[in-house]
């Protein structure tokens, strides 16, 4: 009787593990799928440490200093590797409606590389967050011996 009960509980344990294991195997969307086919609008831009403003203060909220004609611009990432920078409805003087470039991920998809139209350099961002509705990118720039980390937050449109 003990052997039958042990066999019964062992079978339940194995069956339970087998059927619940399927729940853990759900595939997460890859970063290319999360990034592409959408318009992304910047909602925040900050810098750490703050940049001296020349008047004894510091600038941390970079987005607040962007003109409104920049705050409605969009980025669109397309497959296989096309980047489109789209001017929003309130275009800045001298802007064109759109610019193209290229984008790519590092092999581990933790870095995003952008080559923008008219530029010969590659912008390198670490992908801090990428979901179906938001994206946060970081990059570091050195100026006068100080490393400034810029954080850009985007919302899917």
Question: pLDDT for 25-76, tens place per residue?
Answer: 567 779 999 999 999 999 999 999 999 999 999 999 999 999 999 999 999 9
Q: How far apart are the first and last CA of the chain?
A: 64
Q: ∠ CA(115), CA(139), CA(34), 5° rounding?
A: 65
Residue with tokens 């593990």: 17
3-class secondary-structure state, position 75? strand
Q: ∠ CA(71), CA(73), CA(78), 5° rounding?
A: 145
pLDDT at 12: 43
Cβ atoms of 41 and 154 within 8 Å: the answer is yes
Q: What confidence tier does 77 reach under pLDDT thresholds 50, 70, 90? A: very high
% of the chain surpassing 70 pLDDT? 83
pLDDT at 25: 57
| Mean pLDDT score, 81-98 | 93
Write out the DSSP string of 98-113.
EEEEEEEE-TTS-EEE
Cβ-based neighbours of 89, under 8 Å, separated by 6 or more: 72
User: Does residue 22 have a pLDDT over 60?
Assistant: no
**What mean pLDDT is reported for the chain?**
87
What's the whole-model pTM score?
0.80
Distance of alpha carbon 95 from alpha carbon 70, whole angstroms: 10
Domains of the chain: 31-156 (2.40.128.280)
User: Does residue 132 have a pLDDT over 60?
Assistant: yes
Whether residue 122 has a cis bond before it, omega within 30° of 0: no
């Amino acid at each position: 009787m003990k052997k039958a009960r042990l066999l019964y509980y062992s079978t339940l344990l194995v069956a339970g593990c087998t059927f619940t294991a399927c729940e853990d195997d759900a595939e997460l969307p890859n970063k290319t799928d999360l990034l592409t086919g959408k318009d992304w609008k910047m909602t925040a831009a900050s810098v750490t440490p703050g940049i001296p403003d020349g008047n004894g203060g510091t600038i941390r909220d970079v987005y607040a200093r962007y003109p409104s004609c920049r705050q409605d611009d969009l980025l669109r990432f397309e497959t296989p590797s096309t980047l489109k920078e789209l001017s929003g409805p309130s275009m800045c003087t001298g802007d064109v409606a759109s610019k193209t470039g290229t984008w790519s991920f590092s092999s581990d998809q933790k870095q995003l590389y952008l080559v923008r139209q008219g530029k010969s350099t590659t912008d390198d961002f670490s992908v801090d967050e990428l979901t179906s509705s938001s994206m946060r990118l970081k990059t570091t720039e050195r100026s006068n011996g100080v490393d400034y980390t810029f954080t850009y937050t985007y919302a899917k449109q």
